[in-house]
Amino acid sequence: MDWNLRTAEELAAALRAGEVTSVELTDEAIARIERDDKVINAICVPDFDRARAAARGADQARARGEDRPLLGIPVTVKESYDIAGLPTTWGMPMHRDFVPAEDAVQVSRLRAAGAVVLGKTNVPLGLQDIQTFNEIYGTTNNPWDHARTSGGSSGGSAAALASGFGSLSIGSDIGGSLRTPAHFCGVYAHKPTLGLVANRGMVPPTTPALPVDLDLAVVGPMARTARDLTLLLDVMAGPDPLTLGVAHDLTLPPARHERLRDFRVLVLDEHPFIPTGSAVRAGVNRVADALVDGGAHVERHTPLLPDLAEAATLYMRLLFSGAVARFPVEAYEQLRTRVAGLSADDQSLGAARLRGMVFSHRDWIEANDRRELHRHGWRQLFAEFDAVVCPITPTPAFPHDHDPDLLERRIDIDGVEYPYLDQLVWAGLATMPGLPATAIPADRSSEGLPVGVQLIGPMFEDRTPMRLAELLEQRIGGFQAPE
């Protein structure tokens, strides 16, 4: 039997029943990677010897009567997480030889849960792209079409899952970096509520692995089913034991509803800054139709929705204020000169990005105050709705584009070109206020490419969009292996 595309839940049941051993699962996964990854290039740092040793240890532990959530299950880890003894480069050539001495907190949690780590998955340079390529490890291709991107920055993890290289993976998200690759590769991902999952050890190379509170950025699970997402989130969630974990225990509230007909859902497919391509619009509508058919209460409009244009502008300013915070002084001064040349009437997203790059602390505080108003608006909306369904990006996976200047790149939406970075607005809808969002496969484009949507839920009620994802999977189907 080929176990490589089975769910983590199925593998756990088979291991408990004695139908297969962890050594057998791990050997099959390694054989598949060695056979198929030459054209995908998802696994950039294999760790097969230690994986086989961990698998033997898992089988021995099970023989002693132990049973942990992921005991013996092969998984992968995004390259940006520290793993003791393996390089952490973030795709930066100057750090190709950096090897951390300790595991990231999430790698430690995977190991404590019994997972077998097969290796690390590829990332873009500095994690700052919607594609996955760098000078050290090369380009990760989309398993559905090798001429297209797998997404970024967790593109290696999404491609690995779609290809059957492990049943689970962990990634990170600030600009859709979990959700976009899931959408492009036809798998599942969950961007947790900001602060729900400890991030220590998911830091740039040579940076001390300290328990910092990041703005916008989260770490989270990726899988091939909605139930597997929940399984992995339960392993990952919880405060850092060095800080909030000293005094707090995590208790996530249950999903608001168990039945589809009890959900109240707002469906969005239009954004003021960028059109939604026909393939993605069809995916959103397919989910909306499934919700209606299942008896859910579905609306397309509400006055409770926070202003999408202001939300996108705030997101761009906050995102890019952090992205350039460590730029050299000379580069910062050049940006200040460019911003000084902007017209006061220029309220484009490009102008918002530039203005964010030179934010003063006063500017950031003002933007953060506006964010709090948006958060309050979302609380009011989620008093009337349980989830929001909307795009992740305006298009399915697009052809590789390695132009080094992201500002010069363009995204083709039904034959019309738009600024490349403008497609981040849908990802920012959940990221800016820190809301949880679950990416699910929804449809296939006319070219046969996966199309995903995201289910945004109330803050710290992560189980609500994840349960909705599970119910939708039962109605419209879920992961399909690339043809």
222: closest CA among 260, 252, 183? 183
DSSP annotation of 278: H
Identify whether 78 is a catalytic site residue.
yes
HEC per residue, 389-433:
EECCCCCCCCECCCCCCCCCCEEEECCEEEEHHHHHHHHHHHHCC
Q: How far is CA 308 from CA 31, 78, 139, in A?
A: 47, 31, 34
DSSP string, 312-332: HHHHHHHHHHHHTTT--HHHH
Q: Is the peptide bond before 321 cis (omega within 30 degrees of 0)?
A: no
Token match 């997402």: residue?
229
The sign one gets for the Cα dihedral 270, 275, 280, 282 is positive
How large is the greatest C-alpha to C-alpha distance in the chain, in angstroms?
A: 70
Which residue from 419, 405, 404, 403 is spatially nearest to 349, judged by alpha carbons? 419
- Angle between helix 463-476 and 278-293 (nearest 10): 90
Nearest to 96 by CA among 85, 104, 88, 107: 88
Catalytic-labelled residue, pool 80, 108, 150, 153: 153
SS (H, E, C) 86-119: CCCCCCCHHHCCCCCCCCCHHHHHHHHCCCEEEE
Q: Report how far apart, in Å, the C-alpha atoms of 20 and of each of 10, 13, 28, 119, 164 are.
A: 11, 10, 11, 22, 17
Compute the distance between CA of residue 277 and CA of residue 415 in angstroms, rounded to an integer: 9
Residue of 22, 78, 157, 445 marked catalytic = 78
How do beta strands 264-267 and 297-299 pair? parallel
Write down the catalytic residue from 80, 167, 169, 177: 177
Query: Can you read off the two tokens belonging to residue 34?
Result: 């060695």
Q: Which of 131, 147, 148 is nearest to 398 (CA)?
A: 148
Active-site residue, 153 included = yes
Written as one string, the DSSP assignment of 444-477 is E-TTS-EEEEEEE--TT-THHHHHHHHHHHHHH-
What single-letter DSSP state applies at residue 237?
B
Task: Identify whether the C-beta of residue 301 lies closer than 8 Å to the C-beta of residue 416.
Answer: no
Active site residues: 78, 153, 177
